[in-house]
Amino acid sequence: VSHGSSWKTVTIAGVGLIGGSFALALRKAGYGGKIIGVSSPPAIEAALARGVIDLALPLEQAATQSDVIYLAQPIERIIETLETIDPYVRPGTLITDAGSTKTQIVEQAQESVRRGRFVGGHPMAGKELRGVAAAEAGLFQGRPYILTARDPELEHWVAAIGSKIVILDAREHDRLVAFTSHLPQLISTALAASIPIQLGAERVVGPAALDLTRLALSPYEIWKDIFATNSTAIDAALETFIERLENLRSRLKDPVIESEFDLAAAAALRLRQGN
């Protein structure tokens, strides 16, 4: 199937859950070109065995022959790659990424990417399992996919893999996900750590506690870089949230907090209508 796409060779740097799923999704959407994987030896072995990539190369070699370089590494690694990749790419090569924060990544790209051109990306998709073994073509289906700039061909493929394209400035993205993703993680971790297990709290657990502590199962490893690269926005989101919570706390027996419940219910409903 041809979509009139000029993409003939795509390099995926970091062939884990997201990078592997993007490769599988591209194929399923009709991409007929080559897919080169750049990753650790065990990830490459697994990706080749599953047919997720066509071949493996060191990054610099892959860069010289690619139309697109898709960085699906941890955030700090993406920043390091952006610092050094540009001399190896052909002029006009599209470099994009899948990092969960965007401001520092876009800033690094503005500083370092000259021959190539960079469009930041953030697919709002994931699951509890990690690694290329968990990759699936349908991972992005129906999920928002943020892009920090317009690019017709990238938008074509992002739409083709089933995502909803959202164009957002990097700083705006980071401010919003601080509320919708990073704050929920910190809340879940703080809540789970607060529940008095030593007093047998697990005996009275209902759906509420289970829902709110699910994120607390996430390892710190995947959050470290997010906190490091979005601390200002996260701090502001925490401040807003703690103020709201202290307000409820100080008026616990005052019926005036009904208006806060109404406001929250309307917001929760609105979040669901967007999905």
Helix axes 258-273, 231-250, angle to 10 degrees: 140
The region, left, alpha or beta by phi > 0 then psi within -120 to 50, assigned to residue 146 is beta
| 51 three-state secondary structure | coil
For a second copy, the binding residue among 124, 133, 134, 149 (CB under 8 A) is: 124
Nearer to a second copy, 48 or 216 (CB): 216
- Total residues belonging to the chain: 275
Q: CB of residue 138 vs a second copy: minimum separation in angstroms?
A: 15
> Nearer Cβ to a second copy, position 1 or 268?
268
What's the closest the beta carbon of residue 10 comes to a second copy, in angstroms? 25
218 binds a second copy (CB under 8 A): yes
Nearer to a second copy, 159 or 264 (CB): 264
Cβ–Cβ under 8 Å, residues 79 and 100: no
Dump the DSSP string for 197-240: GGGTGGGG--HHHHHHHSGGGS-GGGTHHHHHHSHHHHHHHHHH
If DSSP codes are grouped into helix, strand and coil, which group holds residue 167?
Answer: strand
Q: Which of 46, 86, 143, 148 binds a second copy (CB under 8 A)?
A: 143
Residue 141 is a binding residue for a second copy (CB under 8 A): no
Among residues 41, 58, 91, 253, the one that binds a second copy under rule CB under 8 A: 253
Q: Does 265 bind a second copy (CB under 8 A)?
A: yes
| Choices 4-12, 31-39, 51-59, 198-206 (CB under 8 A): range interacting with a second copy | 198-206
Q: Which of 33, 126, 131, 138 binds a second copy (CB under 8 A)?
A: 126
Q: Is 211 in the site for a second copy (CB under 8 A)?
A: yes
Q: Cα 153 to chain center, whole Å? A: 20
Minimum gap (Å) between residue 169 Cβ and a second copy: 11
**Per-residue binder mask for a second copy (CB under 8 A), 158-197, x = binder:** --------x-x---xx-xxx-xxx-xxxxxxxxxxxxxxx
Identify which of residues 2 and 250 has a Cβ nearer to a second copy in the complex.
250
CA 43 to CA 133: how far, in whole Å?
9
H or E element that contains 96: strand 94-97
Task: Tell me the three state secondary structure of residue 145.
Answer: strand
Based on the shown chain and the rule CB under 8 A, indicate whether residue 242 belongs to the binding site for a second copy.
yes
Helix (H) or strand (E) holding 35, with range, is strand 34-38
Dist. CA 204–CA 201, nearest whole Å? 6
Q: Is 40 in the site for a second copy (CB under 8 A)?
A: no
The residue assigned the tokens 């060191």 is 58
Which positions from 220 through 239 interact with a second copy, judged by CB under 8 A? Answer: 220, 223-224, 227-228, 231, 234-235, 237-238
User: Does residue 246 touch a second copy according to CB under 8 A?
Assistant: yes
Residue number, 8 or 224, with CB nearest to a second copy: 224
Nearer to a second copy, 48 or 212 (CB): 212
Interhelix angle for 170-177 vs 231-250, to 10°?
40
Under rule CB under 8 A, residue 149 binds a second copy: no
Cα–Cα dist 122/165, whole Å:
10
